[in-house]
Amino acid sequence: MKCRILHESTGRMRVHVFKYYMTQDQADLLEAWLKGLPFVQSAKIDERTGNAVIRYKAGGRNRLLESLASFDFETAEVSVPEHSARAMSREYEDKMFFHIARRVGSRLLIPAPVRTVLTVVKAVPYIWKGVRSILRREMSVSILDAASITVSMLRGEYDTAGSVMFLLGIGDIMEEWTHRKSVADLASAMSLNVDKVWLRTSDGQEILTGIDKVSEGDTIIVRSGNMIPLDGTVLGGNAMVNQASITGEPLAVHKKAESTVYAGTVVDEGELEVTVRKAAGEGRYDRIVSMIEESEKLKSSSEAKASRLADRLVPWTLGATALTWLITRNAARAASILMVDFCCALKLSMPISVLSAMREAGEHHITVKGGRFMENYSEAVTIVFDKTGTLTKASPRVHRVIPFGGNDEEEMLRLAACLEEHYPHSIANAVIRAAEERNLEHEEKHTRVEYIVAHGIASTIDGQKVRIGSGHFIFEDEGCSVPEEEQKIFDALPDEYSHLYLALGDKLAAVLLIEDPIKEEAKEVIGQLHALGISRVVMMTGDSERTARAVAQKIGVDAYYSEVLPEDKAGFVKREHEAGRKVIMIGDGINDSPALSESDAGVAINSGAAIAREIADITISEDDLHALVIMKKLSDGLMHRIERNYRMILSFNSFLILMGVLGIFPSTTTALLHNASTIAISLDSMTNLLTTGQ
C-alpha cells in the first residue's frame, strides 16, 4: 500500500493513504488490521480524507512503515467487527451538517415572507405534539416547546420561533446520536468473546476447535460455567442456563432435550449437547441491541431523577408564565419564561454525562454495562477481592508435580490437564500450560466429568474414579487418604505454594505445587482505594488460612477470610448491605458469581470464567489492577459532574427567568441564552473526566 507521512512525533504518526476512494468497509478493515499489530497502541482512519493517525510503541516506527508498505486491501486477513460505529457516526454527522446548512441557507437566501410560511409549516409537528400531550394529560417538555413556538408566532416573532425549532432540532439529533452510539458500544462490548468450542465428532470424540469451524447441524458440548457460543437445540443433557444477557431475567432456566438455547447465555450448572442452528455471528447482535433499548439498565438513578424533575417542573413553568401575564399584562415577559425551561438541559446533559463516562471507561479497557453501576461504584465503601487470579497474577504456574503411590509424574500432570481443560480458570490454565510446555498430549480417556463448585472435578478412567481439587474436597468430602508409607513426604510439602490434589480411586496420586505470585501493583492499588474513600478492603479466598494470611499481610487489606465457599462470599455482601454499606465485589471464577450478582457493582476480570463476565456489571482487563482506581476516579468524577450540572442548570435558568420577568432580557435573548447554555453544558458533559496520565 502506498502512503505518505504527513506528520510525526514521538510515538505518533499521521499518514495519507494513496487510494482514490476509500469505502467505510475498507477503512474498518485497515483500522482493525493496524490495531492488531503488536506494536500499535491505537489507530484511527478517516475514509473521507484517506488519512490515518497511528500511535505506536517505542521502537516500532520502522516495523510500522514496513507493515504499511506490505498491506493490501484485497489480501489482508483480519477479523473486522460485524457492526462498526463508523457508518452511524457518518450518518449523524451528515444530519447535523445539513441541519445547520439549511438554517444558514434559509437566512441568507430565502426572502422573509417565504421564511415565515416555512416557519409556520415547521411549527405544526411541534404544536401537535404539545396538544397530544395535553389530550393524554401528560405534563411533558413538548407542551413548553409548543407553547413557546406558538407564543412567538402570535407575537409576530417568526425568526425567534425558527431559532427555537432550530436549537430543538440540534438537541434531538445529539440525543438520538448519543443514545444510539451508547447502545452500539454496549452491544459490541457484550458480544461473545468465545473463539474455541468442544465439538462432538462423528465417531463420538470431543475435540477443541475454533468456533469459525463449526457449521449448522454440528453438535457442541457446553459445561458448567461456560458460555453457549451459538444458537441451537438441546440434543441431550440437563442444565440450568442463565439467560440474563438475552431476556434480562436473573433466574436460571432449566434446559433439557429439545429445548432451545441462545448464544451468549451461560450454563450455571449441568452439561448440554447442543445441535447448532445458527453459525457464528448470526442474530445475537440484534437481540442484544433490542434488549438494551428495552432495558432501564442504561439509566442511573441520577438520570432518572433528572428526567422526573424535568417533568415535574413543567406545570410550575406554565404556572409562572400565567401568573406573570396576570400580574404584568405583559406578553413579552410571560413569553420569556416559556423560552426558558429546565427540561431540555436536564434531560440532555445528564444522559450525555453518563454515556461519556462509560465511553471514557472503555478507553481504559473497562466495560461498564450501565450508568447505575458507576453511581454505585462511587458510593461504595466496602470492596471485596477474590484472591486467585484477581489479587494474584492471572497466570499462576505449576512449580512442581510430586507423585504419590508410585505414579509417574508426567502421567499425573497429563491426567490433571485432561480434567482441568473442561472448566478453565486461572489455576486450571496453569495446569494445562504446564502440560503443553512438556509436550504432553492430554487426549480424552475419561468419561463424563463433573464439576463441584469451589471444590474440584471428578470423573472416571478405566473404571477407576479420578478427582482433582482442594484438600477439603479430596480428603474430607471424598474420603481419600495419603499412602501410609509417604505420609512424611506429604507432611513436608512446602507452605509457600498452593496445593492442588489429584486422587486415583481412594488414594492420593499427586500434589501439584502452584506458584501464584501476587500482582506487583496490588498493594499500591489497595492504598489508593483507601485514599479515594474505600474504608474497608476485604480479601476472600478458598485457600488455606496459611496461604490467605501470607497474602493479606503483604498487600495490606483490612480483613481476610480463608477457606470460604461461594455462599460465604455472597453472605458477606448481604451482611454489608444490612449494615447500610454499598459493596463492590471483584472476582474471576465460577465461585465468585453469587457474590458478583449480590453486590452493588460486580467487577469481573476479563480472563476469568464466562459466567463471571456475564453476571458482572463491570469488566476490566486482567493486566493491571490500576483499572480499579481509574474506575473509582471516573465514577467520583461523574457524580461530581452531575451535581455540578444540576447546580448550573437550575441557577442559570432561574436567573434567565428572573431577567425575563423583570423585563431586563427580551424573550429572544432568554431563548438564545437558554439554548446556548444547554448546548454548552452538553458539550462540556462529553469531555473526558480524567486528565491524561491519571
Ordered alpha helix ranges (H), 72-111 = 85-109
Structure-block grid coordinates of residue 113: 415572507
Q: How many domains does the chain have?
A: 5
Structural domain ending residue among the three candidates 48, 80, 112 = 80
Same domain membership, residue 72 and residue 127: no
Assign 533 to helix, strand or coil.
coil
Number of helices and strands in the chain (H, E)? 23, 24
Judged on CB neighbours under 10 Å (0-12, 13-18, 19+), 241 is: buried
Structural domain ending residue among the three candidates 498, 515, 532 = 515
Residue 286, in any domain of the structure: no
For the chain, the average pLDDT equals: 81
Residue 458, in any domain of the structure: yes
Q: Residue 298: phi, psi to the nearest 5?
A: -65, -25
Beta bridge partners of 9: 12
Residue 191, in any domain of the structure: no
Beta bridge partners of 238: 271
Cβ contact 502:431 at 8 Å: no
Q: Give, for 253, the enclosing helix (H) or strand (E).
A: strand 253-255
Assign 501 to helix, strand or coil.
strand
Residue 220, in any domain of the structure: yes
Same domain membership, residue 482 and residue 424: yes
Residue 157, in any domain of the structure: yes
The span from the first CA to the last CA of the chain, in angstroms, equals: 37
Same domain membership, residue 316 and residue 332: yes
* C-alpha to C-alpha distance for 455 and 693, rounded to whole angstroms: 42
Residue 628, in any domain of the structure: no
For residue 587, the domain's CATH number is 3.40.50.1000
Structure-block grid coordinates of residue 606: 476479563
Cβ neighbours of residue 520 closer than 8 Å, sequence gap 6 or more: none
Considering only CA atoms, which of 189, 260, 195, 186 is closest in space to residue 227? 195
For residue 226, the domain's CATH number is 2.70.150.10
* C-alpha to C-alpha distance for 75 and 79, rounded to whole angstroms: 13
Distances 240 to 53, 313, 506, 571 between C-alpha atoms, Å: 48, 47, 31, 22
* C-alpha to C-alpha distance for 104 and 86, rounded to whole angstroms: 27
Spacing of C-alpha 463 from chain mean position:
45
Structure-block grid coordinates of residue 81: 467487527
Q: Running along the chain, 694 residues long, what does each successive block of 10 average in pLDDT?
A: 89 90 87 86 88 90 90 77 73 88 89 91 91 81 79 81 81 73 61 68 79 80 81 87 60 82 79 79 54 51 64 72 78 69 70 81 80 88 86 80 92 88 74 88 61 71 84 87 91 82 92 86 93 92 79 90 84 91 84 81 74 74 82 93 87 82 75 78 84 52
Considering only CA atoms, which of 565, 554, 622 is closest in space to residue 588? 622
Considering only CA atoms, which of 682, 683, 680, 673 is closest in space to residue 346? 682
* C-alpha to C-alpha distance for 41 and 59, rounded to whole angstroms: 12
Structure-block grid coordinates of residue 143: 407542551
Same domain membership, residue 507 and residue 432: yes
Same domain membership, residue 322 and residue 262: no
Its domain, for residue 594, covers: 369-392+518-622
DSSP 518: B
Considering only CA atoms, which of 363, 380, 381, 361 is closest in space to residue 371? 361
Cβ contact 586:382 at 8 Å: no
Same domain membership, residue 553 and residue 416: no
pLDDT score at 692: 46
Neighbours of 256 (CB within 10 A): 12
Side-by-side strand order, sheet with 507-515: 397-403, 507-515, 498-504, 464-469, 456-461, 450-452
* C-alpha to C-alpha distance for 20 and 503, rounded to whole angstroms: 67
Same domain membership, residue 449 and residue 339: no
pLDDT score at 378: 92
Beta bridge partners of 587: 604
Q: Residue 278: phi, psi to the nearest 5?
A: -135, 135
pLDDT score at 108: 87
pTM: 0.63
* C-alpha to C-alpha distance for 587 and 26, rounded to whole angstroms: 39
For residue 443, the domain's CATH number is 3.40.1110.10
Same domain membership, residue 505 and residue 413: yes
pLDDT tens figures, 104-136 = 898 888 998 999 999 999 999 999 988 988 888
Structure-block grid coordinates of residue 422: 473442561
Structural domain ending residue among the three candidates 455, 484, 515 = 515
* C-alpha to C-alpha distance for 459 and 451, rounded to whole angstroms: 9
Same domain membership, residue 650 and residue 524: no
Percent of the chain as helix, strand, coil, to the nearest 5: 50, 20, 30
Neighbours of 676 (CB within 10 A): 11
Cβ neighbours of residue 15 closer than 8 Å, sequence gap 6 or more: 3, 4, 5, 6, 51, 52, 54, 68
Residue 152, in any domain of the structure: yes
Same domain membership, residue 611 and residue 509: no
Compute, in degrees rounded to 10, the torsion defined by CA atoms 180, 186, 189, 190. -120
pLDDT tens figures, 371-392 = 788 889 999 999 999 887 788 8
Q: Can you say whether residue 258 is alpha, beta or left, with left for phi > 0 and alpha for psi between -120 and 50 degrees?
A: left
* C-alpha to C-alpha distance for 335 and 356, rounded to whole angstroms: 34
Residue 85, in any domain of the structure: no
* C-alpha to C-alpha distance for 380 and 370, rounded to whole angstroms: 16
Cβ contact 28:86 at 8 Å: yes
Same domain membership, residue 180 and residue 310: yes
Cβ contact 590:610 at 8 Å: no
Distances 295 to 191, 246, 454, 476 between C-alpha atoms, Å: 17, 11, 33, 46
Same domain membership, residue 435 and residue 346: no
Considering only CA atoms, which of 140, 189, 382, 390 is closest in space to residue 297? 189
